[in-house]
């Protein structure tokens, strides 16, 4: 019953406004977190068993009649489901305390769950248009969530985000239409097989570019990134965490890789383009992050940079590169989620996001500082944390595939990453306590609990990287490395 991944959050979302009427805080908190906990358990525990014998293809039947709901769960989608559920759970735990002041918790969780449902749907969808639909589901929810604070900046950011991504989705639909026109189908399997038969040529190049715009904007690859540094910092912290940790990965990286690797097949041309996009994003965004004074804006640029890293790795196209990219996606989701959450703790405690105004907060907020440090070092690729292993695999893959220059770029990006994270550490946590914050208190229980959870995951995966890679990353990478065969051969309904 993998449709539960979509339906359950939706149903709970529908119920939440009612629940919110009954109880303003407790019930929404309980319902939302229970849902996500269930999703975590379902994905992490049952998921492995489900796909033990290859991908699960499920067509929902209702009243004995087959419906047009065809969901596919394979290694890659399961991997993404786990990521979504994990980070989603952490963010929703964080929201218990954090969203107190925003009011209308029921409404918040409803939007939140719709977004989760959208992402899950996208991951499980098996045709191009459904991907678009669920991408929009998550997007619409995210627009509202970005603007949830209703402040001036939030609105500005949400509006620009909306206006840019609507254009991109329009082009995406255009791309889908072109592919549909060429192949006559929308199913991944059908499209993949048809494209194999068809020597598409320039038309496919245009379609690819349209898809790249559509997904690339969601993934915030340079030059489609401009909305992200506005939108992610403006959102409430748990939403920032989910946007940076999940949304850009699911509706950006996942969709992109699924389409390009499994459906279109990674041609050398596409590979080169992805390498360049990834490299440019990784470096330029790292430089941009370096110049930020706003802690969350810095993190946002860092997300662009790291997604660039992921795309760079996937662009290599070798099994090792894909594995590295996916592992990095996973690690970045955890670490960036963690960082945004801690930035939320700091913002909540001090009321500011300006790094220059902070200072020495480690003294007053030791747990937040420690978890933030773990996240920062993890993303910067400092061992023994998880981010190190993924970056290592990526660089190894780049060198092995004969791209030493891109590997050097990756190394450079890594150094830049550490540079700005050290800047952040220095200005916010490390250093002498700014007297203004002498009375600041550590974040409340659920906030620290969720950051500690993510930090422990970062450390734990760093230490147990081997089993993580074999259990979760390799099956996902295998699907992608199979190229169109993974879809074309076995996904017939």
The footprint of other proteins on residues 108-137 (CB under 8 A) is 108, 110-111, 114-115, 117-118, 121, 125, 127, 129-130, 133-134, 136-137
Cβ contacts of residue 267 below 8 Å, gap of 6+? none
Nearer to other proteins, 323 or 481 (CB): 323
- Closest separation between CB of residue 150 and other proteins, Å? 6
The footprint of other proteins on residues 9-28 (CB under 8 A) is 10, 13-14, 17
- Closest separation between CB of residue 86 and other proteins, Å? 21
Nearer to other proteins, 234 or 372 (CB): 234
The two tokens of residue 490 are 């076995």
- Closest separation between CB of residue 324 and other proteins, Å? 9
**What number of other Cβ atoms are within 10 A of residue 3's Cβ?**
16
The footprint of other proteins on residues 351-380 (CB under 8 A) is 351, 360, 363, 377, 380
Point out which span in 87-95, 163-171, 249-257, 337-345 binds other proteins (CB under 8 A). 163-171
When binding is defined by CB under 8 A, the residue of 54, 103, 460, 492 that contacts other proteins is: 103
- Closest separation between CB of residue 380 and other proteins, Å? 8
Question: Shortest CA distance to 266 belongs to which of 347, 162, 195, 371?
Answer: 195
Contacts with other proteins by CB under 8 A: the residue count is: 150
When binding is defined by CB under 8 A, the residue of 45, 49, 439, 466 that contacts other proteins is: 466
- Closest separation between CB of residue 313 and other proteins, Å? 14
Q: How many angstroms separate the CA atoms of 462 and 222, rounded?
A: 29
When binding is defined by CB under 8 A, the residue of 241, 288, 326, 481 that contacts other proteins is: 288
Question: Shortest CA distance to 58 belongs to which of 12, 5, 132?
Answer: 5
Point out which span in 45-53, 248-256, 282-290, 482-490 binds other proteins (CB under 8 A). 282-290
When binding is defined by CB under 8 A, the residue of 34, 41, 46, 150 that contacts other proteins is: 150
- Closest separation between CB of residue 409 and other proteins, Å? 11
The footprint of other proteins on residues 57-96 (CB under 8 A) is 60, 66-71
When binding is defined by CB under 8 A, the residue of 37, 44, 174, 354 that contacts other proteins is: 174
The footprint of other proteins on residues 184-243 (CB under 8 A) is 184-186, 194, 197-206, 208-210, 212-213, 216-217, 223-224, 226-227, 229-230, 234
User: 304-343 mask for other proteins (x: CB under 8 A)?
Assistant: ----------------x--x--------------------
Q: How many angstroms separate the CA atoms of 379 and 299, rounded?
A: 10
32 is an interface residue for other proteins by CB under 8 A: no
Nearer to other proteins, 253 or 382 (CB): 382
Q: How many angstroms separate the CA atoms of 106 and 104, rounded?
A: 5
Nearer to other proteins, 209 or 449 (CB): 209
284 is an interface residue for other proteins by CB under 8 A: yes
Q: How many angstroms separate the CA atoms of 489 and 231, rounded?
A: 40
- Closest separation between CB of residue 398 and other proteins, Å? 9
- Closest separation between CB of residue 306 and other proteins, Å? 16
- Closest separation between CB of residue 38 and other proteins, Å? 18
- Closest separation between CB of residue 210 and other proteins, Å? 7
SS (H, E, C) the chain: CCCHHHHHHHHHHHHHHHHHHHCCCHHHHHHHHHHHHHHHHHHHHHHHHHHHHCCEEEEEEECCEEEEEEEEECHHHHHHHHHHHHHHHHHHHHHHHHHHHHCCHHHHHHHHHHHHHHHHHHHHECEHHHHHHHHHHHHHHHHHHHHHHCCHHHHHHHHHHHHHHHHHHHHHHHHHHHHHHHHCCCEHHHHHHHHHHCCCCHHHHHHHHHHHHHHHHHHCCCCCCCCHHHHHHHCCHHHHHHHHHHHHHHHHHHHHHHHHHHHHCCCHHHHHHHHHHHHHHHHHHHHHHHCCCEHHHHHHHHHHHHHHHHHHHHHHCCHHHHHHHHHHHHHHHHHHHHHHHHHHHHHHHHCCCEHHHCCCHHHCCHHHHHHHHHHHHHHHCCCCCHHHHHHHHHHHHHHHCCCHHHHHHHHHHHHHHHHHHHHHHHHHHCCCCCHHHCCCCCCCHHHHHHHHHHHHHHHHHHHCHHHHHHHHHHHHHHHHHCCCHHHHCCCCC
Nearer to other proteins, 31 or 270 (CB): 270
Phi, psi of 66 (to 5 degrees): -70, 130
Nearer to other proteins, 17 or 444 (CB): 17
- Closest separation between CB of residue 42 and other proteins, Å? 18
The footprint of other proteins on residues 376-435 (CB under 8 A) is 377, 380-384, 388-389, 392-393, 395-396, 399-400, 407-408, 411, 414-416, 418-419, 422-423, 425-426, 430-432
When binding is defined by CB under 8 A, the residue of 23, 37, 38, 171 that contacts other proteins is: 171
């Amino acid at each position: 019953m993998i449709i539960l991944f979509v339906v359950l959050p939706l149903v709970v979302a529908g119920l939440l406004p009612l629940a919110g009427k009954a109880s303003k805080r407790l019930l929404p908190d309980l319902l939302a977190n229970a849902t996500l906990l269930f999703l975590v358990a379902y994905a992490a525990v049952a998921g492995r068993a489900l796909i033990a014998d290859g991908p699960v293809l499920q067509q929902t039947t209702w009243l004995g009649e087959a419906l047009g709901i065809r969901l596919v769960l394979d290694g890659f989608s399961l991997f993404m489901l786990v990521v979504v559920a994990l980070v989603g759970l952490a963010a929703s735990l964080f929201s218990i305390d954090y969203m107190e002041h925003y009011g209308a918790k029921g409404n918040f969780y409803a939007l939140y769950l719709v977004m989760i449902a959208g992402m899950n749907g996208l991951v499980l969808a098996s045709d191009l248009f459904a991907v678009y639909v669920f991408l929009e589901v998550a997007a619409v929810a995210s627009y509202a969530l970005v603007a949830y604070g209703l402040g001036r900046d939030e609105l500005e950011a949400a509006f620009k985000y909306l206006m840019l991504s609507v254009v991109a989705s329009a082009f995406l639909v255009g791309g889908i239409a072109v592919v549909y026109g060429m192949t006559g189908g929308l199913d991944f399997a059908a499209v993949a097989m048809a494209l194999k038969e068809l020597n598409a040529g320039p038309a496919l190049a245009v379609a690819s570019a349209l898809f790249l715009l559509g997904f690339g904007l969601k993934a915030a690859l340079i030059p489609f990134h401009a909305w992200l540094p506005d939108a992610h910092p403006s959102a409430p912290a748990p939403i920032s965490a989910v946007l940076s940790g999940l949304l850009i990965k699911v509706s950006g990286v996942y969709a992109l890789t699924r389409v390009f690797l499994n459906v279109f097949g990674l041609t050398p041309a596409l590979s080169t383009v992805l390498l360049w996009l990834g490299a440019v994003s990784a470096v330029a965004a790292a430089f941009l992050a370096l110049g930020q004074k706003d802690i969350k804006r810095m993190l946002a640029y860092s997300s662009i940079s790291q997604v660039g890293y992921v795309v760079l790795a996937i662009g290599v196209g070798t099994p090792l590169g894909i594995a590295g990219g996916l592992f990095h996606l996973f690690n970045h989701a955890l670490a960036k989620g963690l960082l945004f959450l801690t930035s939320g703790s700091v913002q909540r405690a001090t009321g500011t996001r300006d790094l220059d105004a902070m200072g020495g907060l480690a003294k007053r907020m030791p747990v937040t500082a420690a978890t933030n440090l773990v996240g920062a070092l993890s993303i910067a690729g400092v061992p023994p944390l998880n981010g190190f292993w993924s970056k290592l695999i990526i660089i190894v893959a780049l060198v092995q595939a004969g791209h030493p220059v891109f590997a050097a770029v990756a190394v450079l990006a890594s150094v830049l990453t550490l540079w700005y994270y050290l800047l952040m550490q220095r200005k916010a946590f490390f250093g002498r306590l700014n007297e203004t914050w002498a009375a600041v208190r550590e974040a409340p229980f659920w906030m620290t609990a969720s950051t500690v959870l993510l930090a422990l995951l970062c450390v734990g995966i760093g230490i147990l990287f081997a089993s993580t890679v074999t259990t979760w990353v390799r099956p996902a990478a295998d699907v992608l490395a199979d190229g169109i065969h993974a879809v074309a051969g076995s996904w017939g309904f």
